[in-house]
Structure 1
Amino acid sequence: MSVLSIKPLVQPRDDGLQLSYQLPHRIYCAKAYPVLSPNGSSIIIYGSENGLKVIWRGGSEPVPTERRMKDKLDGTGNDDAIMIVDSDEEVTPELSKDEYSKVQLENRTSGIDISHPFDDIIRYVDIPLGGKVLDLAVPHCVPDRTRSSFGISPPVLSQMIVISAICADFSTRVVALPLAPPQGMDTAASAQGIQTLSISGSVSHQEIPRGVTMTFTFRRDEEGQSTNRAQVQGAPAKDESSGSQAEGRWDLLVATHSAEASGTLLVYRIPIIQQSSQIETSYFLLKSHIHPIQKHYLPAPARSISFSPSPYPSARHSNLLVSFSSGYVKVYSCLAPKPSKVSRSQQGSSGDTDTAEPQGRWLITLYPSFEQSSTEVACRKTVVDAKWVLGGRAVIVLLADGEWGVWDIEGAGPGSEGPLHHQSSVHGVTGGSLTRFAVSGRVVGMPQAKSSQTADSIMPERARFVPLTPSTKRIREDTLFKGSHSFSQPSVCGEISVIQTNSLRDAAPEESILLRHGNQSVIIPSLLSLWRNAVKVTGTFDALNRCRMSSLGNLVIPGETMNGIDHLPVAPRRKREIGYREFDILITTEHRLIILAPRLSEPKQEQPDSIMAQQITKGPSGETDQLMLMKGELDVDGVDRVLSEMASPYRPRNTVRDPSRRGRIFS
């Protein structure tokens, strides 16, 4: 069954729509690609029983006009060429990759259908790999709209999709395919120019790997190795197709881990070859001489691994976060310089410099708190997942009891002084440790909706006499004084998803966090805003929604288990309702792809001057007064309005809080 023929089950939500795509096969893993296609489509990749499927959702379909096709035919040198379009079997000339991004894009419809206020799946491609795909990874990079034009980014990101996948045959596959969706409806992999690199046999694990991650790095030539890193970091962006090729080449760093022996970590460095011609620039993965540049035996099987989102040339771009279920997280630098004991003359006569790979170095260990247990043996809380935040300067962790916290390693957060507060990166420490959270919270379980009950099922729920014992007395006291909050049940199934929502030029990165713990999912719209409220000791509490953690409740997942959650980047649309987030949420179950997206609506017309004047005379709202009060810009009239709202018996609850009575734990 074609993915294009599957119609989603649309269900309304308070914040938009839930789109559920029922698939005929099982979904083992799914990721959203961080880069949009040239036509503005979001890209979803998921692993099935036979391989990978790549889906393009939303955006505009590439429809070459008759004028562009005629210009392409005239470009062959025949100025008198005439194109006759009178056949039912006309052949559309193929466009090159560079011309594809310049092709005229036409929308499917001129407006938004009221009964269809969401984006459709426009293309998909099947990539058979000969077995199950159990896990996959995409490059760690910021979305297109937040990427700075002064940074150095791999040029392959603008043309290719690069994926790393773990298969059930013990192999790791690296797949590259064009970023733009196919022009036709042919979904065969042979017609799309797909490259597949297989890492297996003696250079891979001897059992099924448990996780994979990837990022980009740069290998400089001998002439450019003496260039100061600070000069490269401050230089404006050059033409990557010429400048980067003259100074060196881009490589792909791929790391995998398995439970082999006590735990094994392998790191590969795969060269990306660039070939330029007068028509287009192509990129290829070098398939020869693939071997791990580093192999480490871990003290225990790792839970998850993740590369830093900080881009090259930052020194932390190759930092690898390795989490262990037994209660700690380690930071490993893959490209740390190898300590050399030979002289420069011996090093220069050693031959090829590409064979001298760095050996890496373990930098710091992060520990959560201890579990509350009645036994005398104390053990630390179980780690479910860990990810980089604040651009690779801090780490957020999710624990088995539903608690989450942030280790501020470099002191980059508001009001925080980490162990490396006065250092530029974590590379200055070897063997250090950190235990205290800079900010923390807990995933709160949502009450389950009660289904229709019969008379037989209601009978056992009648009130019955309970004798007063010390145990029941304690339970009733907890319910009376602490409320009926139901915390999420302990679970080792969970995931963290992080996306940056502001530009790299900003001083501090604004990041949205998605947490999945068991069957519960929550969202933190802005970790930095929540962090500021946690450490604020004076002023008024900011009650905006972006500063609070909220649950993604009312999810309709009939009879299936949630096994994945991720941010889905979308193109900036004027037709998205104002006030909604600039990304969608991708949730995967065993046989469903679920997308939480806002409704698409027609752009509202500008209001007349009379209506605008009426809105101006209404005065600022209570939320505006609170913001101006925090900044110290509220006038006397604004203070009177705030005091009136506080004295009013009809004011909303929790509008103003006493900062001294507010804790650091958010639920």
Structure 2
Amino acid sequence: MALTMGPRVRRTAQNIQYTYNLPRRIHAVQTYPVLSPQGATILLYGHENGITIVWRGGRRFKPEVIKEEGRSGSVGKQNGNPAVDAVMVIDSDEEDSATAKKGEVFVDKPQFEDAIDEDAPYPEVTQTLDLEFGTAVLHLAAVPLTPCTAEDAAWGGTDLLKDRMVFAAASATSKVFLVTVPLVPPSPQSKARADLQESLLAGKAGSGKWGETMVLLGGSERASDGIAMSLIRPKAMLERTKSNERSRSESRALPRIVIAAHSRQASGTLRLWNLSLEDATNTGRYVQPFQTEFLPKPLTSVSFNPTYTTQLLCNASPDAVRIYDFALASMPPDDLSEGPFPSQGSWLISFYTPFTRPSSSRKPILAASWIAHGRAILVLLADGQWGIWDIDGVSPHGPALFGKPGSGIRGDALTDFNVSGYVEGTSPLRNPASQRTSGGGSDFVPMTPHSRRDALTAPYGPERLASVKGGIVVMPLPASTTTTADESVALWIGGAEHVFVIPGVLKFWDAQVRKGVGGGVNLFSGAQPTRMVRLSDLSVGLMGERCTGVGAIVRFPESGGSAPSTNEGLPIELLLRGESRLVIVRESETVVGTRIGGVVSRRKLPNERVKENSAIVVYPRPEQPSSIAYNLSVGPRRKLSRSAAADGGEPSPEEDAAGAQAGPALGSVPIQLPTRPRSGFAFADSLSAAADAEQRGGEDDERDVEVEMLDIMAIDRELEAMDSGRGRGRKKVIFES
């Protein structure tokens, strides 16, 4: 019931799309930021019965190990019946030993190939794993790490993240789980165990069959509408400890995990749980929230700050975007309070959106996310406008709100964007009156491809903005030795026709500031220009399904390491989520104008052309030469030498070159031949020249006109060649005068 078949590959004018058809309805998709030890990208998607983990790419399993396992399994059973030569022994001692052997813990030892298959046209699915929850999983959240390999995944001095993935899941039954699973994909032998075939519930999540652990986070009475996860360093907890004994005990503790979930319970509820990484691996634990915040209205989304890990960005659409700090107490802390964090946090600041022009209501907020590593906020509004609120003064023209320690800003509100703009193709959302009058006053709109592309224009009025869907996904890029760490942003509004990618946020921000100031961009000393790239023809991969979400995957090179350079296309792959399909879109490197910074030309190797070309490529035969030269000259040829004619061969290249320099001769008389002779009987042009040639020399010199004519007509060559081959092969006729 997972990705067992290969994808449907479609090549469009701008990208390559890999479509995976799933037998279940997809509710959430999450890309895990850490690669598996064998180099595979890990994808998590929640469906109606639990979570499926997909390992895509990397080194494959050794085929000989799979074949040996298949042979050993076929000996034990034949069509479900015991083997013919099987013998049943009834003995008490044997039964005890068999029972002990049955209770042994299976130790999975997967074996992979030594290198990645570089000749594969696309990364194949190495393995899949289904975690059955018995209920639908609606939301997923992974640890907030910069995409890296398994060796570089240690955070805060812990090695747990090097071999295990940690993520949270919110189910439809108001339960929130913290799950840990090994990063290494399970081997085919592990999935073919006999104890998993005895019962359908044998591999249920939490049983430990796959090495997973599960912690139940209680306290919720309704299903969560969104979750987020953060990692807190131990030094943040030492500030609230009062005794030296507690300080020494907590200084050796691992980083703590904080999970936030919001629901529509009452008028809106925000809950936060915290536990250490050691407790995350203990199955069967039940954790209560340490903070519960009741809100005036439900939230739309939450996300933790990647730098200031105690700050939570709350999208309270359509009113504002607010920042909540759960480690900063709203009142002086009580000495009798227990735990590393206060019982109530503080609301720091609110950001309000502009008003819609036809009415006095504010523009609804589709999505808001941290950018610039938690120092700014990118927001997408329902009318297609995007804006950036500068918090830490990243831009030279922006104020630093939280840049100074102890600024003490609480309860403040801002509305002005540092930079803003509009998404391409969303003008009908901002001016519905002109769109309506342009049709001649008729309410009938034909369903043409152009009208479907602008399908957001059906209802008229400000209230139609409430039904527009969209989202923002920020993917941090790993830093290399030549470039600084940046981020890529994927945003969408309405559907698959309006999906955009910002390759580099900092460069894009700098280009927008320069354009607003009017300074422009210097091609030599200025910053590299960056624009918002629009991806087209994405509905081809969805095959008629509507777009329900967008994700991103960092493009690691095949050998591992940092992301590719900006001259080789977009640094991320787009993950498009349909109702029952996953589409991975890779921007084609052969398209002009889609690379960062403009047109970049790069000569491709022959194997790269084969991977990108979908047509049949025909190569010449190995035994044939790479090039063949033909003499297409129409000029007159010189007279063959006697030796060459006698042998029946052609003149050597040296003789031919010498004859070409000397030119044709009639005895000692040079003849001026036409430069462009006619095709066919070209020698006829030289007859008149030979007859009109003046005789030079003494009176005793007589012209042999017959010899001259034979020389011109090249008949003597043929006669001599035929005479030399007399008696060999076919009979030849000699004409004598």
Taking structure 1 as the reference length, the TM-score comes to 0.67
Aligned to 2:623: none
Structure exhibiting the larger radius of gyration computed from Cα positions: 2
Instruction: Give the match for residue 310 of structure 2.
Output: 318
Aligned-residue offset at 1:341: 6.2
SS at match of 1:594: strand
Letter in 2 for 1:382: P
CA contact (8 A) 1:61 1:105 kept: yes
Equivalent residue for 2:503? 525
| 1:118 matched residue in structure 2 | 122
Amino acid at match of 1:304: S
Displacement, 1:105?
Answer: 4.2
1:62-81 correspondence runs (5 A):
62-63=61-62
3-state secondary structure, aligned to 1:106: coil
**1 CA distance for matches of 2:484 and 2:178?**
33
- How far apart are residue 176 of structure 1 and its match? 1.2
- Aligned residue identity for 1:256: A
- Could you say what secondary structure the match of 2:362 adopts? coil
Question: Could you tell me whether the CA contact under 8 Å between 2:18 and 2:585 is conserved in 1?
Answer: yes
Q: Which residue of 2 aligns with 1:380?
A: 362
Q: Deviations over 1:424-450 (max 9, x none)?
A: 58x731111121111222222399xxx
Matching residue within 465, 471, 496 for 1:495: 471
Residues 366-389 of structure 1: CA distance to partner in whole angstroms, max 9, x if unpaired? Answer: 11111111x4xx111101111000
| 1:393 and 2:375 matched | yes
Partner of 2:40: 41
For the residues of structure 1 that align with 2:409 and 2:70, how far apart are their CA atoms? 71
Q: Which amino acid aligns with 2:339?
A: D
Name 2:579's counterpart in structure 1. Answer: 590
| Higher fraction of strand | 1
Do structure 1's residue 438 and structure 2's residue 453 form an aligned pair? no
The aligned runs of 1:291-370 (5 Å cut-off) are 291-310=288-307, 316-337=308-329, 339-340=331-332, 347=335, 350=336, 353-354=338-339, 357-370=342-355
Aligned 8 A contact 2:59 2:116 in 1: yes
Shift of 1:260: 1.4
Distance 1:142 1:168 in 2: 29
Q: Aligned partner of 1:379: which letter? A: S
Asked if the contact 1:39/1:62 (under 8 Å) is kept, the reply is: no
Provide the rounded CA distance (Å) in 1 between the counterparts of 2:294 and 2:237.
32
Specify the alignment match of 1:28 in structure 2. Answer: 27
- Change beyond 3 A, Cα 1:507–1:259: farther
Q: Deviation per CA, 1:384-408: give whole Å up to 9, x if none.
A: 1110001111111111111111111
Question: Pairwise CA RMSD of aligned residues?
Answer: 4.2
Change in CA separation of 1:267 and 1:398 when aligned onto 2, cut-off 3 Å: same
Structure 1 segment 68-467 matched on structure 2, within 5 A: 88-89=71-72, 105-107=113-115, 109=117, 111-113=118-120, 117-144=121-148, 152=156, 154-184=158-188, 186-187=190-191, 188=203, 190-200=208-218, 203-204=219-220, 206-219=221-234, 247-273=252-278, 284-285=281-282, 287-288=284-285, 290-310=287-307, 316-337=308-329, 339-340=331-332, 347=335, 350=336, 353-354=338-339, 357-373=342-358, 375=359, 378-413=360-395, 415-420=396-401, 422-424=403-405, 428-445=408-425
Where relative contact order (Cα < 8 A, 6+ residues apart) is larger, the structure is 1
Q: Which residue of 1 aligns with 2:487?
A: 511
Q: 1:48 to 1:407 in 2, by over 3 A?
A: same
Which whole-Å CA distance do the structure 1 matches of 2:253 and 2:505 have between them?
37
CA contact (8 A) 1:221 1:248 kept: no
Partner of 2:553: 568
Aligned residues: 507
Residue identity matched to 1:592: R
Contact conserved, 2:234 with 2:250, CA < 8 A, in 1?
A: no
- The Cα offsets for residues 299-322 of structure 1, whole Å up to 9 and x where unpaired, read as 211011111122xxxxx1121000
Shift of 1:145: 6.6
Supply the distance in 2 between the matched residues of 1:18 and 1:168 (Cα, whole angstroms). 31
Contact 2:273 2:289 in 1 (8 A): yes
For residue 411 of structure 1, give the secondary structure of its aligned residue in structure 2. coil
Unaligned runs of 5+ in 1: 67-84, 228-242, 275-282, 311-315, 448-469, 476-483, 607-667
CA drift of 1:353 comes to 4.8
Structure 2 CA distance for partners of 1:523 and 1:545, relative to 1, 3 Å: farther
CA displacement, residues 505-552 of structure 1 (integer Å, 9 cap, x when unaligned): 999752111111111211111121121112223253669996111211
TM alignment of 1:621-640, pairs within 5 A: none
Alpha-carbon distance, 1:247 to partner: 2.3
The 1:288/1:195 distance shift into structure 2, 3 A limit, reads closer
Provide TM-score, normalisation by structure 2: 0.61
After superposition, what is the alpha-carbon deviation per residue over 1:268-308, rounded to whole angstroms, capped at 9, x for unaligned?
Answer: 1122217xxxxxxxx61475451111111112110111111
Letter matched to residue 324 of structure 1:
A
What CA distance in whole angstroms lies between the structure 1 residues aligned with 2:488 and 2:304? 18
**SS of residue in 2 equivalent to 1:534:** helix
> Are 2:552 and 1:552 equivalent residues in the alignment?
no
Q: 1:410 to 1:223 in 2, by over 3 A?
A: closer
1:367–1:497 CA distance, 2 compared to 1 (3 A): same
Q: Note the C-alpha offset of 1:259.
A: 1.3
CA pair 363-134 structure 1, distance change in 2 beyond 3 A: same
Identity of aligned residues (%): 27
Shift of 1:157: 2.1
Structure 1 residue 96: Cα displacement: 7.9
1:418 shift after superposition: 2.0
Q: Secondary structure at the match of 1:181?
A: coil
Note closer, same or farther for the CA distance 1:303–1:508 as it changes in structure 2 (3 Å cut). Answer: farther
Unpaired runs of 5+ residues, structure 2, are 77-103, 192-202, 243-247, 428-435, 442-450, 458-464, 591-602, 608-737
Aligned AA for 1:498? Answer: V
**Code of the aligned partner of 1:17:** I
